[in-house]
Amino acid sequence: MTSAGGGTAQARVKEWPDGERPDRTIPGYRKDFITQYMPPGQLNERVKALHRQFPQLTDVIALPYLTNGYRRHAQAQFGAIVVTSLAYGSEGGNDLAMELVDPGAQGRPLQVTVNGKLITVSLATDASGAITSTAAQVITAVNAGAGSLVKATPYRTDDGQGVVAPAPLTQLSDFLKAPADVSREPARVLALRIGAHRDGSRTGVLAYAQEHAREWVTPLVTIETAERLLRNYARDPATRRLLQRTDIFIVPTVNPDGANYSFYDYNFQRKNMTNHCPAAQADPAARHSWGVDVNRNYAVGSLFDGYVGASANCLSGTYAGPGEHSEPESRNVIWLARTYRNIKFAMNVHSYGGYFMWPPGAYQAAGRLTLPRPTKAQEAYFLRSARTIEEAIAAERGTVTWPQQTGPVTDVLYSAAGNSADELWYDFGIFGWDFEVGNDIWNPATRTWEGVGFQPPFDEGHKEALEYASGLIAMIGLAADYRAP
């Protein structure tokens, strides 16, 4: 190896950092409890089922902040006019319909009549019978005449001066496609607490997944981990030791509304489902871009503090929200840290790309000033721990996490203003890590590394869940051995 400064060093290349492929398979150790990608309803069922089966080793914690829910207001667009129901679609908005009618007579005024769920706009005509109502006039009339049911707004930047065309009766819709058994109510996020002594006396470990809705593998990592811990407790002394010495909090899905949207409506959904956009950005065609990036909504090194890597634009993939902790999803994560002060380790599970990272995770634009670096001793601990965890991942099927993708977020990936691991570290002193599960795969045909994507074929997602569950269990092992300095 040579450095830019001219130095050189030589070492023998070895396949594994310590010379040997790690192999921790214990005879009789049970694993592989995942058979498919799981939407939030199934994840919650699995959490409850594990608690029913292992009541002595678990508690289910209902996190205090309900999400906004898998629901939206119903909408329809009539040229330059967007009509939005006041009620959510599931609460009556989807039953509304509106029509724009040519009265077919001369000299008629603009009139809005409401008949039950039907809104009829009779457009104004001049002396020759031609329609004269502009979009702006119709908007004013609808808001005056049907304002208890809907709100009418101009489409994006339209000035409302164009004359409106008649339109047939059009049903408003929330455009949500999940089956009826997916609740439209605000959702309760669950944590499964695992340990033989769940009284705050043991080192706490938090593993939370799916802040980003489309990252379907990430909840599976946490479920596989919970299953292994509980089902090997009676048969495997090493597992028993982990549960004797640690107090584990597992949140399979932080963002259930977004996850449902990703499963049933728009698989690329990253954010939650709460729409903070003003009317000019809230027409139905923009709906896949609404929502807050939960992992930019935290309170340390945030957009609002001047840090880089989050957006103030409500349509951006990294929209930070209207303020720090504006979203129940982020408040729930911090509530766990605040309530269970024994938590000293946390893993924020994301996909994809094969990264393993820790704070600092953000820098300021001015001077690229990062959040404070951990001390040398802390950095050494982060790095040493990373090697242990990465070796456990590699033991499953030989997946290597590149050294250049192991390190502080700001060094190996980017600045992510307002991310959760930073708040856990700087405000609570929790060793906060981030996985980006799903390492690139070598394609021998093209001789390139290829990303696996957010929703790889299940066979690949399944393998990722198994290997990163091993990594997570290795982190719990570090926690079991941890002694506060």
Residues interacting with Zn ion, by CB under 5 A?
212, 350
Q: Minimum distance between the CB of residue 294 and Zn ion, rounded to whole angstroms? A: 9
Residue type, 404: Q
Q: What single string gives the DSSP state of each residue in 372-397?
A: PPPPHHHHHHHHHHHHHHHHHHHHHH
Q: Minimum distance between the CB of residue 39 and Zn ion, rounded to whole angstroms? A: 17
Choice between 456 and 477, CB closer to Zn ion: 456
Q: Minimum distance between the CB of residue 212 and Zn ion, rounded to whole angstroms? A: 3
Choice between 93 and 258, CB closer to Zn ion: 258
Choice between 194 and 209, CB closer to Zn ion: 209
Say how far apart CA 90 and CA 113 lie, in whole Å. 24
Choice between 134 and 351, CB closer to Zn ion: 351
Choice between 246 and 420, CB closer to Zn ion: 420
| Tokens 């997602």 -> residue | 461
Q: Minimum distance between the CB of residue 350 and Zn ion, rounded to whole angstroms? A: 3
Q: Minimum distance between the CB of residue 53 and Zn ion, rounded to whole angstroms? A: 31
For residue 235, give the 3-state DSSP assignment.
coil
Residue 208 in contact with residue 259, Cβ under 8 Å?
A: no
- Nearest-CA neighbor of 123 among 92, 95, 163? 163
Q: Minimum distance between the CB of residue 357 and Zn ion, rounded to whole angstroms? A: 12
Enter the tokens of residue 384.
Answer: 């040493």
| Tokens 């640690």 -> residue | 246
Choice between 78 and 298, CB closer to Zn ion: 298
Tally of CA atoms within 13 A in the half-sphere of 13 that contains its CB: 2
Q: Minimum distance between the CB of residue 374 and Zn ion, rounded to whole angstroms? A: 22
Choice between 212 and 287, CB closer to Zn ion: 212
Residue 254 in contact with residue 208, Cβ under 8 Å?
A: yes
Choice between 71 and 212, CB closer to Zn ion: 212
First to last CA, the chain: 36
Residue type, 205: V
Beta-bridged to residue 201, according to DSSP, are none
Residue type, 225: T
Say how far apart CA 148 and CA 142 lie, in whole Å. 10
Q: Minimum distance between the CB of residue 215 and Zn ion, rounded to whole angstroms? A: 5
Q: Minimum distance between the CB of residue 300 and Zn ion, rounded to whole angstroms? A: 18
Say how far apart CA 472 and CA 144 lie, in whole Å. 58
Beta-bridged to residue 449, according to DSSP, are 442
Say how far apart CA 262 and CA 456 lie, in whole Å. 14
- Nearest-CA neighbor of 286 among 261, 314, 319? 314
Choice between 294 and 395, CB closer to Zn ion: 294
Residue 136 in contact with residue 145, Cβ under 8 Å?
A: no
Say how far apart CA 380 and CA 106 lie, in whole Å. 83
